[in-house]
Amino acid sequence: MRRPLAVVAGAAAALVLLAAGPAAADDTDNLYDPAACSSTGSSKFKFHIWYNSGQGGAYRNIRYAVYDFNSVPDGVVGVTTPLRYCILGASSPWPGSNQKIKNNAASGENDHYKYMARVYYNSGYKGAQDAMGPYQHIDRFRNVYNENASFRFTS
């Protein structure tokens, strides 16, 4: 029995979109969801990364893994955007406001109840790392201080 080519092509396209959908949503959430820049205590995003030591200066709330802080897919095929710190302090910007996160982070906090949060030296979750257990923070990264390129939660 032969199926029309259009039906087979449509089914294949739907599978590709379903497979790519969650990853694209994850990346766009990290870039564009208002929770990425809401107060760290009230954000639904459970990892927080700061420009300064001691959870100081500008920050960014991160919900999903980031393969490369400098190249986050923004929902358009082939287009990427660097992940930046939130713009805070309208008349007197906080240190780090709107700067790129890659190789520019000093501290972090994991508000997840279950997963470890890991910040890596290299893109692709490779190299030296600093890890935070559930509800832990690091006042000053030991291994990736201002040399950070990726992030993910692990079990």
* Fold assignment, 5-154: Gamma-B Crystallin; domain 1 (2.60.20)
pTM for the full predicted model: 0.82
pLDDT, one tens digit for every residue, the chain (155 residues): 444 444 444 443 333 333 333 344 567 899 999 999 999 999 999 999 999 999 999 999 999 999 999 999 988 888 999 999 999 987 889 999 999 999 999 999 999 999 999 999 999 999 999 999 999 999 999 999 999 999 999 99
State how far the Cα of 15 lies from the Cα of 11, in Å rounded to an integer: 6
Domain residue extents for the chain = 5-154
| pLDDT score, position 141 | 98
Question: Token pair 């001691």 is at which residue?
Answer: 54
State how far the Cα of 154 lies from the Cα of 39, in Å rounded to an integer: 24
